[in-house]
Structure 1
Amino acid sequence: MLAASAVSQSADDPLSGLVVGDVADPEPPPGWVRIRVAASSLNLHDVWTLRGVGHPADQLPRILGCDAAGYTDDGSAVLVYPVIASADRGGGDETLDPQRSLLSERYDGGFAEHLVVPERNLIPLPDFLTLDEAVCLPIAWGTAYRMLFVQAAIRPGDRVLVQGAGGGVASAAIKLAGAAGAKVYATSRSADKLAIAEGWGATGVESGARLPERVDVVIETVGEATWSHSLKALRPGGTVVVAGATSGMNPPADLGRVFYLQQRILGSTGCTRAELLQLLRMLETTGVRPVIDRTAALADLHAGMRAMIDGELVGKIVVHPPTG
């Protein structure tokens, strides 16, 4: 089958380690299910793997792709929940399981014609979503959902700042917060991306610029470049939720501001299976849908990955493997 794999890692030239070629078809072990992949989507996690961040080299080669949707052998359309947790985890929070693994970490991912996953990781495809829409949800939209509604526990009328409008998590956070009745501010260096965010109902603010008011919650995935602005934009007692640091992991702490204004800083990683189901119900009720920047053939994955690295996207790239 055709698949896109990380075969080596380079911090400076990550795409040099991305190979699209034929690999052996996977065989499901007991309790696992084989999926014919119809769609997957790009995430920055794929780039981190190619850069060697958080992914040991001894785990290569590895088929990339954290998201997947497709069909079981009996023809059922399914969405894949991407966190593979300990077999004895039960119904607990998979994101807190020290043995958890995303697809494409210890197990091959969705950039392939076929994929095998535990049966509990399958979710029937809702009839109100297309496969392309659904496959955008588990990583980016699931992350945004948990940040907003589980960690920050936002309420209608809350003021929410989303740093870095345009990415998958940011676009999801803008649309979900707005659908929940929050007043949303979104930042970007790009006038075009600010205009798009305003089209979704947000108030656009140039990166680093002063907001007209302090906010209750900041959705932070950028890191060093926006951290100081995030703390300054936050009201006393407000909450920053962090789920990434694309511009760097070591911002100035500004601890004086944090303790004097009693600001809360919360980490967030992914979402649980139960939260993904809650997200699906929210989309059905509100009519909100994922933002798809473009689609790409699996054979053309290098070009899609380059666009994501260069920040040329608004929303998600959906990847289609060969059919037939």
Structure 2
Amino acid sequence: MLAAIAVSQSATDPLAGLVLGDVPRPEPRPGWSTVRVVSSSLNMHDLWTLRGVGHPPERLPMILGCDAAGYDEDGNEVLVYPVIADPDAGQGDETLDPGRALLSEQHNGAFAEFLSVPTRNLIPKPACLTFDEAACLPVAWGTAYRMLFTQAQITAGDRVLVQGAGGGVASAAIKLAVAAGAVVYTTSRSADKRAQALSWGARAAVPTGERLPERVDAVIETVGEATWSHSLKSLRPGGTVVVAGATSGMNPPADLGRIFYLQQRVLGSTGCTRGELVALLRLLDATGVRPAIDRTLPLDEIHQGFQLMIDGRLAGKLVIHPSGPQQSGTSR
């Protein structure tokens, strides 16, 4: 089968380590299921792997791809929960399992025609979602859901700042927070991305670092150093910053005086549980909210997709069809 494989890593030329090649189809194993992948989607995690961030080189070669939707061995339409972990190791929260692994970290990922995962990781795909839409959800939308509803515990009427409107998690957080009845503010250097955020229901979208009309109850932070100071200054006393990434740098100034004097809370968040992903699917079914898809590409054009991500030219998710352009990405 055809697959997109990371064979080497480079901080300056990440795509040099990405190759397309024929690999054997996964062998059946007890407790695991094989999925014929209809749709997958790109995530920054894939790019970090190619850059050598958080992925030891001794784990290469590795098929990339964290998200997948397709058919199980019985022809059922399924969505793949991407965290392979022991749900009991984290007191019922598999994201707290020290041995957890996202697809493509320790197990081959979804940029291939077939994927093998624990049977527990298969979730029925709702009929209301196309394969393309479903494949956008597990990593980016699952992360945003946990940040908003589990960690920040937002409710209708809360004021929420989402930093970096162009990112996959950020765009999901904007749409989900609006759907939950929150007042959403967001930032971006790009006028086009600010306009898009307004079309999704954000009350205001301002240039990065610009003062907001009011202080917020919660900040969704995935940018890091470039926005950290603005996040804390935008937060009300007693408010919460939820951090699930730092694309601009991992070491912002702590500003501990502001944090303790204003009793602000800083919470980390990683991925989502299987239960949270199921809850997200129910929310989308109830509200009609859907992920924004910038474009779809066949697997043999995946290098082009990664370059668009590197250049910051995506406005939404980029979906990959591992079996070629004949796959429509819609339910049969």
2:330 matched residue in structure 1: none
Q: Structure 2 regions of 5+ residues with no counterpart? A: 327-332
Is the 2:87–2:93 Cα contact (8 Å) retained in structure 1?
no
2:329 matched residue in structure 1: none
Q: Quote the offset at 1:73 in angstroms.
A: 2.0
Supply the distance in 2 between the matched residues of 1:89 and 1:251 (Cα, whole angstroms): 31
Q: Quote the offset at 1:197 in angstroms.
A: 0.3
Supply the distance in 2 between the matched residues of 1:123 and 1:62 (Cα, whole angstroms): 24
Given residue 245 of structure 2, which amino acid in structure 1 is its aligned partner?
G
Is the 2:87–2:97 Cα contact (8 Å) retained in structure 1?
no
Structure 1 residues 170 and 87, CA gap change in structure 2 (3 angstroms): closer
Supply the distance in 1 between the matched residues of 2:88 and 2:194 (Cα, whole angstroms): 45
Is the 1:8–1:61 Cα contact (8 Å) retained in structure 2?
yes
1:49 matched residue in structure 2: 49
1:29 matched residue in structure 2: 29
Supply the distance in 2 between the matched residues of 1:36 and 1:317 (Cα, whole angstroms): 19
After TM superposition, what 4+ stretches of structure 1 lie above 4 angstroms from structure 2? Answer: 87-91
Supply the distance in 1 between the matched residues of 2:316 and 2:95 (Cα, whole angstroms): 24
Is the 2:217–2:236 Cα contact (8 Å) retained in structure 1?
yes
Supply the distance in 2 between the matched residues of 1:311 and 1:233 (Cα, whole angstroms): 25
Supply the distance in 1 between the matched residues of 2:107 and 2:88 (Cα, whole angstroms): 18
Given residue 78 of structure 1, which amino acid in structure 2 is its aligned partner?
V
* TM-score normalised by length of structure 2: 0.96
- Alignment of 1:77 onto 2:98: no
Structure 1 residues 91 and 318, CA gap change in structure 2 (3 angstroms): farther
Is the 1:6–1:17 Cα contact (8 Å) retained in structure 2?
yes
SS in 2 for 1:284: helix
Q: Quote the offset at 1:28 in angstroms.
A: 2.5
Given residue 117 of structure 2, which amino acid in structure 1 is its aligned partner?
V
Q: Deviations over 1:255-300 (max 9, x none)?
A: 1111111110000000000000000000011110111111111100
- Paired residues in the alignment total 324
Supply the distance in 1 between the matched residues of 2:13 and 2:27 (Cα, whole angstroms): 33
Q: Quote the offset at 1:83 in angstroms.
A: 0.4
Supply the distance in 1 between the matched residues of 2:149 and 2:323 (Cα, whole angstroms): 37
Is the 2:89–2:96 Cα contact (8 Å) retained in structure 1?
no
1:126 matched residue in structure 2: 126
Q: Deviations over 1:93-144 (max 9, x none)?
A: 1100011111000000000001000000000110110000011010000000
Q: Quote the offset at 1:26 in angstroms.
A: 1.1
Given residue 243 of structure 2, which amino acid in structure 1 is its aligned partner?
V
- Give the fraction of aligned pairs with identical amino acids, expressed as a percent: 74
Q: Quote the offset at 1:24 in angstroms.
A: 1.4
SS in 1 for 2:67: coil
Q: Quote the offset at 1:322 in angstroms.
A: 2.0
Supply the distance in 1 between the matched residues of 2:117 and 2:88 (Cα, whole angstroms): 16
Kindly report which structure 2 residues correspond to 1:180-219, keeping only aligned pairs within 5 A, or say none: 180-202=180-202, 203-219=204-220
1:103 matched residue in structure 2: 103
- Alignment of 1:259 onto 2:260: yes
Q: Quote the offset at 1:20 in angstroms.
A: 1.0
2:92 matched residue in structure 1: 92
Supply the distance in 2 between the matched residues of 1:130 and 1:140 (Cα, whole angstroms): 17
1:276 matched residue in structure 2: 277
2:152 matched residue in structure 1: 152
Given residue 321 of structure 1, which amino acid in structure 2 is its aligned partner?
P
Q: Quote the offset at 1:89 in angstroms.
A: 4.5
1:297 matched residue in structure 2: 298
What CA RMSD, in Å, does the superposition of the two structures yield over aligned residues?
Answer: 1.2
* TM-score normalised by length of structure 1: 0.98
1:40 matched residue in structure 2: 40
Supply the distance in 2 between the matched residues of 1:281 and 1:89 (Cα, whole angstroms): 26
Supply the distance in 2 between the matched residues of 1:88 and 1:154 (Cα, whole angstroms): 27
Is the 2:42–2:317 Cα contact (8 Å) retained in structure 1?
yes
Q: Quote the offset at 1:86 in angstroms.
A: 2.7
Is the 1:28–1:117 Cα contact (8 Å) retained in structure 2?
no
Is the 2:293–2:318 Cα contact (8 Å) retained in structure 1?
yes
